[in-house]
């Protein structure tokens, strides 16, 4: 008897729970602990700014669930599955390391939930040829292409390359090859070093011996400054170029005078204040800055938090169109509608780019999503 | 490659080799006396650098908390062991050595945080702060299993490394640090630019090798350490306590690691997990010395540094591969020339 009453109560409460789930549910995973947390925390703050900016689709409230993956790909996978199976989310957004983000994609494909990746990864379609995930950031090849094109404009004929001896170093090197060939630039060296290395003297000597007009840095963050320091020590005076991976306060702190004048490609949001008013990113980026300040109590100048913000904009835009199809949130039909809406995003203005997604491709940005910036007196300056 | 490039590379290689020498000697010292291949040894060097950096920026290094927790744990372990043997009269001494002494530098740093200290004082403080870590870990982790096989000790040491680097992430955060240079001096030697930092590293390495030699040859304690290394049972029979020699070995080795941490911090960026690779490369040097010979270890470590420097010029993408491949011929040669003396020792 008691049991049946209990069961009835349980059923009633479950029923209430399902009824309440008519609102759109979004699951967000980021790394708030572990080695990926330096970026993960920024993603988290960017998302807080996004919620501050808009927390509903039209009149429809959004239920937002956030989990920490501890920078561990298997935890990211577990959390993604939990969000879909237990919390019945309509959309997944995540996460801060490429490995964890890549690990979430198969879950999205398998459970047929749209996903927005906020780390640059390459996404494969599932077995049926469907894509369920889009990627917000600029693809690495594009980040490098813009830099190589700028080198050509600056009159560089041949340049030396030094990068990390990991996947990132490979991405930059491979990304530079094609545009360099197209622009008629010669890449003289392919030198590599590890993040834990204490010296790059050998690599730098070899680069100097090749007499480059410029040097392309394929490192990241703090240790991205190591070759610049060694180059200065050996008397190199030519220009330095790099990727957005160098947009980091520790890079500036450690590099000091040696990295002064380095030019890197960056999302326009990085230099939002300096953009001309006619630039697409100016208004939305300033709105983002304001929302960020309000939500987190600190100003921002990083690009990572803006990816979460843009992911939210893409979602809001797509959700509006998905709701128009009449599908009810929390159902498989709605997820399909949302996916179709996301993959037909057209000319959506975000802080980083103007997003256009097509069913055939998970990347949706073009060259407008990157501007060149130069480090002057420890500050990034817009270089039109 | 011309002569000048070769000279620069050689200099660079010897400088990084000198760092490996300090760490390699420490590894051999600990192994010889306690039979532990102390994997977290590189972490000690990295922690010194990180502590120094946070003192420099006026912060409070996370090592303070680490030392305090370890000191309390070690005291508890020691107190329980003494209580079991009903040796209560030794309790005050244990409290002094395991609680009070390690906490003195920690307390000093705790109260000094926020004030700007002079460079030598910062270095001394961070060294003093890091020194107790390895002996305390020894008391907590290794002494209860001191008679276990070398393999078990190694496994525990590996686990300890992961624990320590996890704690490092917690205390110091994921970003790397670089300290201010110890000297800005630059010398011109026969057309080559030699910076003072490099000379300092070399000088420190040579001085400490010399001191270590004098210590082993001319002091009773040093001789006791050597005796324990040669034969633990024999050393005990003549009245040498392996536990205290073990502690001395850990202290000495920590000093070496700490010094190398201080020296390397201005040259490169140190992360919470940078220590492992430093330790691993020094370990290659120690293997060349068969984990017993100090001079051969030093030679091996310099060789690793040189190899690293020259491969970074020729084949930078394969640098690590080549350095660690060096182990294969060395191990082959070692196993052919000595037939498993360590195994026998482990089975005693």
| pLDDT one-digit tens code per residue, A238-268 | 999 999 888 888 888 888 888 999 999 999 9
pTM exceeds cut of 0.80: no
Using a CB-CB cut-off of 8 Å, the residues of chain A touching B8 are 201, 205
A41 and A131 share a domain? yes
* CB-CB under 8 Å, A196 with B273: yes
Residue B347 in this model has a pLDDT that exceeds 50: no
A192 and A147 share a domain? yes
Residue pair B41/B27 in contact by the 8 Å Cβ criterion: yes
Q: Is residue A373 part of a domain?
A: no
**CATH number of the domain encompassing residue A45:** 3.40.50.2300
User: What are the backbone dihedrals phi and psi of residue A91, each rounded to the nearest 5 degrees, phi first?
Assistant: -155, 140
Q: Is residue A225 part of a domain?
A: yes
Q: Is residue A374 part of a domain?
A: no
* CB-CB under 8 Å, A38 with B174: yes
CA distance B328 to B312: 20
DSSP helix/strand/coil, A145? helix
Q: Which of B61, B215, B234 is nearest to B133 (CA)?
A: B61
* CB-CB under 8 Å, B175 with A250: yes
Maximum Cα interatomic distance, chain A, rounded to a whole number of Å: 88
CA angle B87, B93, B98 (to 5 degrees): 110
The pLDDT, as a whole number, for residue A26 is: 94
H-run or E-run covering A78? helix A73-85
Domain final position from A219, A251, A266: A266
Please give the residue range of the domain that contains residue A159: 140-266
* CB-CB under 8 Å, A233 with B312: no
* All domains of chain B in start order, with CATH: 3-347 (1.10.3470)
A220 and A322 share a domain? no
Q: Is residue A382 part of a domain?
A: no
pLDDT band for position B339 (cuts 50, 70, 90): low
A69 and A125 share a domain? yes
Over the stretch B157-166, which tens digit does the pLDDT of each residue have?
999 998 888 8
- Residue B178 touches chain A, beta carbons under 8 Å: yes
**Which of B15, B317, B324 should we substitute to test contact with A (largest number of A Cβ atoms within 10 Å)?**
B317
Handedness of CA A253, A259, A260, A266 (dihedral sign): negative
pLDDT band for position B241 (cuts 50, 70, 90): confident
Residue pair A362/A369 in contact by the 8 Å Cβ criterion: no
* CB-CB under 8 Å, A193 with B312: yes
* CB-CB under 8 Å, A194 with B269: no
Q: CA of B256, closest CA in chain A: separation in Å?
A: 18
Using a CB-CB cut-off of 8 Å, the residues of chain A touching B274 are 196
How is residue B216 written in tokens?
């082993």
Q: Closest chain A residue to B278 measured between Cα atoms?
A: A196
A239: buried, middle or exposed (CB in 10 Å: 19+, 13-18, 0-12)?
A: buried
Q: Is residue A248 part of a domain?
A: yes
A126 and A146 share a domain? no
Q: Closest chain B residue to A191 measured between Cα atoms?
A: B316
Q: CA of B201, closest CA in chain A: separation in Å?
A: 13
Question: How many CA atoms does the CB half-sphere of A213 hold within 13 Å?
Answer: 12
* CB-CB under 8 Å, B173 with A199: no
A134 and A145 share a domain? no
Over the stretch A294-328, which tens digit does the pLDDT of each residue have?
999 988 878 889 999 999 999 999 999 998 888 88
Looking at the structure of chain A, the number of domains it has is 2
Over the stretch A2-57, which tens digit does the pLDDT of each residue have?
444 444 444 444 444 444 446 899 999 999 887 788 788 899 999 999 999 988 88
CA distance A178 to A140: 13
Q: Is residue A173 part of a domain?
A: yes
E-strand ranges in A240-384 read 240-242, 263-266, 348-349, 354-355, 371-376, 379-383
Q: Is residue A281 part of a domain?
A: no
A188 and A250 share a domain? yes
A50 and A120 share a domain? yes
A104 and A165 share a domain? no
Q: CA of B268, closest CA in chain A: separation in Å?
A: 5
A101 and A158 share a domain? no
The pLDDT, as a whole number, for residue B1 is: 64
CA distance A260 to A377: 7
CB pairs under 8 A between A and B: 90
Among all chains, which residue has been given the structure tokens 């480059």?
Answer: A212
Nearest to A201 among B8, B178, B278 (CB): B8
Q: Closest chain A residue to B317 measured between Cα atoms?
A: A192
CA distance A80 to B346: 48
A133 and A145 share a domain? no
CA distance B186 to B197: 9
A64 and A155 share a domain? no
Among all chains, which residue has been given the structure tokens 């409460």?
Answer: A13
Nearest to B8 among A193, A205, A254 (CB): A205
Say which range, A226-230, A281-285, B167-171, has the weakest mean pLDDT. Answer: B167-171
Over the stretch B264-323, which tens digit does the pLDDT of each residue have?
888 888 888 888 888 888 999 998 888 888 888 999 999 999 998 898 888 888 888 888
């Amino acid at each position: 008897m008691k049991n049946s009453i209990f069961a009835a109560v349980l059923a009633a409460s479950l029923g209430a729970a399902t009824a309440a789930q008519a609102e759109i549910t979004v699951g967000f995973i980021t790394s708030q602990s572990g080695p990926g947390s330096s970026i993960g925390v920024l993603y988290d703050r960017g998302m807080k700014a996004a919620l501050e900016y808009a927390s509903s689709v039209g009149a429809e409230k959004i239920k937002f669930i956030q989990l920490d993956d501890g920078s561990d790909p298997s935890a990211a996978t577990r959390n993604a599955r939990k969000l879909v199976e237990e919390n019945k989310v309509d959309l997944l957004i995540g996460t801060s390391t490429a490995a964890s983000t890549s690990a979430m994609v198969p879950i999205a494909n398998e459970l047929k939930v749209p996903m927005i990746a906020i780390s640059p990864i390459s996404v494969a379609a599932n077995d049926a040829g469907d894509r369920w995930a889009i990627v917000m950031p600029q693809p690495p090849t594009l980040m490098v292409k813009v830099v190589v094109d700028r080198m050509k404009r600056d009159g560089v004929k041949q340049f030396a390359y030094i990068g990390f001896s990991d996947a990132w170093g490979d991405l930059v090197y491979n990304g530079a090859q094609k545009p360099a060939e197209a622009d008629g630039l010669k890449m003289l060296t392919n030198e590599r070093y590890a993040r834990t290395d204490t010296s790059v003297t050998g690599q730098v000597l070899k680069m100097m011996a090749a007499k480059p007009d410029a040097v392309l840095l394929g490192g990241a963050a703090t240790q991205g400054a190591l070759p610049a320091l060694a180059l200065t020590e050996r008397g190199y005076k030519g220009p330095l170029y790099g990727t957005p991976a160098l947009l980091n306060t520790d890079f500036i702190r450690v590099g000091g005078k040696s990295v002064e004048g380095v030019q890197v490609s960056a999302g326009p949001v990085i230099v939002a204040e300096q953009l001309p008013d006619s630039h697409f990113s100016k208004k939305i980026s300033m709105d983002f800055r304001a929302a960020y300040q309000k939500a987190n109590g600190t100003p921002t100048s990083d690009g990572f938090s803006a990816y979460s913000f843009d992911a939210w904009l893409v979602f809001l835009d797509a959700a509006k169109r998905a709701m128009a199809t009449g599908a009810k949130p929390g159902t498989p039909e709605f997820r399909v509608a949302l996916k179709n809406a996301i993959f037909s995003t057209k000319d959506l203005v975000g802080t980083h780019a103007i997003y256009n997604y097509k069913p055939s491709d998970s990347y949706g940005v073009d060259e407008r999503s990157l501007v060149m910036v130069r480090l002057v007196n420890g500050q990034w300056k817009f270089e039109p | 490659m011309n002569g000048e490039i070769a000279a620069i590379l050689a200099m660079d290689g010897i400088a990084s080799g000198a760092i490996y020498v300090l760490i390699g000697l420490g590894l051999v010292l600990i192994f010889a006396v306690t039979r532990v291949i102390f994997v977290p040894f590189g972490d000690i060097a990295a922690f010194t650098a990180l502590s120094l950096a946070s003192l420099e920026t006026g912060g409070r290094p996370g090592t303070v908390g680490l030392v305090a927790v370890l000191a309390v744990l070690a005291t508890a372990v020691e107190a329980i062991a003494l209580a079991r043997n009903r040796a209560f009269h030794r309790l005050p001494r244990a409290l002094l050595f395991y609680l009070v002494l390690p906490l003195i530098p920690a307390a000093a740093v705790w109260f000094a945080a926020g004030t700007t200290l002079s460079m030598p004082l910062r270095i001394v403080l961070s060294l003093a702060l890091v020194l107790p870590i390895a002996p305390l870990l020894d008391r907590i982790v290794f002494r209860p299993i001191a008679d276990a096989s070398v393999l078990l000790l190694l496994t525990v040491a590996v686990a300890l490394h992961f624990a320590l680097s996890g704690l490092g992430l917690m205390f110091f955060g994921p970003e790397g640090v670089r300290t201010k240079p110890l000297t800005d001096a630059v010398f011109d030697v026969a057309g080559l630019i030699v910076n003072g930092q490099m000379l300092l590293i070399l000088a420190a390495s040579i001085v400490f090798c010399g001191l270590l030699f004098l210590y082993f040859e001319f002091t009773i304690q040093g001789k006791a350490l050597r005796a324990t290394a040669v034969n633990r049972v024999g050393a005990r029979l003549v009245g040498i306590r392996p536990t205290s020699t073990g502690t001395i070995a850990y202290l000495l080795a920590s000093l070496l690691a700490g010094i190398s941490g201080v020296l390397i911090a201005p040259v490169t960026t140190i992360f919470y997990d940078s220590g492992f690779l430093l330790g691993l490369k020094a370990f290659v040097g120690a293997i060349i010395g068969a984990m017993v010979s100090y001079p051969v270890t030093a030679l091996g470590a310099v060789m690793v540094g040189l190899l690293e420097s020259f491969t970074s010029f020729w084949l930078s993408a394969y640098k690590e591969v080549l350095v660690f491949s060096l182990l294969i011929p060395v191990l082959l040669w070692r196993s052919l020339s000595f037939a498993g003396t360590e195994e026998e020792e482990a089975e005693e």
